[in-house]
Chain A
Amino acid sequence: MSDARDSRSDLAADRRALLRGAGGLLAVLLAPGVTLYALGGTEAAARAPGEAVSPKVRWGLLIDVNACPAECDACVAACRTENGWADTGHSATDPHWIRKVSVRDPASGAAREVPVMCQHCASAPCVDVCPTGASFRRADGIVLVDRHICIGCRYCIMACPYKARTLVHEPVHDQTADAPRGKGTVEGCTLCAPRIDAGRLPACVEACAAKGAAMLFGDLNDPNSAIAKAVAARAPARIRADLRLDPGVGYRGL
């Protein structure tokens, strides 16, 4: 999608900005992360080294629940492959960067399936409560966990109303270069930031396009983007809109 390509955002640049503000000790602790992200970025066509993430952009998703078939699992499967997470054999501690929630109205019996991931809240409680600042919101609206500063206190999991984050409870192997994971740290949907920075679509959106085409991704701040037009035409529903967290993910047909 062109929106993604336009954004010359770069996670490594973000990292460097963080580094400038932090002390020498922190720099040492962070250094491996810089390398990881920088490596991930070199393959990216749209990468502009050194250019900061643009605050003019707000990445968002619009999910049409009516177009999402009950038996389809394509978005979840794509996320697993892209980000290297899998079931652990212990359901209560399994990672879930994205999940499909079956929702049934007990009054009418109407049922639907809702893909739920981190909602990339503009007023993110996870970011507010994080003691170290490991939970942070990029200028373009993507909420991430810096795995190199996260101390695993789990306060963000407690604070997130969407059950969007999980703690890595066991040692992990076979990580992908773009999605570092680590035992004892917290993780969740990154909106595929490294892919977005490379001008590509998030993995779930790409996989969904071939199935129900229920997901629309783009820059909410760009009035010409498809998602901004759709949102302008009719305001989307939000999960727990009452909490007023201004999520970047909206829904149709909730």
Chain B
Amino acid sequence: MLSVEGLEAGYGRARVLFGVSLEVTEGRLVCVMGRNGVGKTTLLNTIMGVLPATAGSVTFEGRDVTRLRPDERVRLGMGYVPQGHETFPQLTVMDNLMVTLEASPHRDPTALEEALEVFPRLKPLLKRPAGFLSGGQQQQLAMARALVTRPRLLILDEPTEGIQPSIIIEIEEAIERLHAAGLAMLLVEQYLDLALRLADSFVILDAGRVAHSGAAEELRGEQVHRLLAV
């Protein structure tokens, strides 16, 4: 469903990605791992069109989306939750959800209720400005916002980073449930045990290249641990 082929990207003259290829098939959860600064966020941003690809291609459901704008990719069914639990801080929680719903192709209000069922903690907070939520609540809002568009592929960048442990559990459960319901996901996750519990397969990046990829069982080897050690 998502196919990334020889992707290259960077910032100005500094190249970060050197020909990354990966595949997410229908209903699978693929986890991207790697040390800090290897280019995980850069990869996701390029897949979403926030950064232009200088070479290579991104194909989604058989369609080449490499040159599309981010909003066009969202409307095709790619949902993105960027790193750092970003929200629109001055909009209320409700408006954060509404603004995404109104930009989605289906505009179906029941999608909003469904997203709130996944994150019931948000329900009593709907009228509050998003900027005043805790980091964990903001992360749940960020994920709920992506769900409101009814994506067929959900791309998550470190959803548990800097979040209090009690909410990490809720987020993990939400990811598990969405995965069980058949949603395909591309997940960047630093916690190895969490990644092992959730993922069907792995892509390990090192210095902007795929150093290793394969099924979950293969991840326990010596060499893999060396690639992930901080």
Q: Do A and B come from one complex?
A: no
Taking Cβ atoms with an 8 Å cutoff, the residues of A that contact B are none
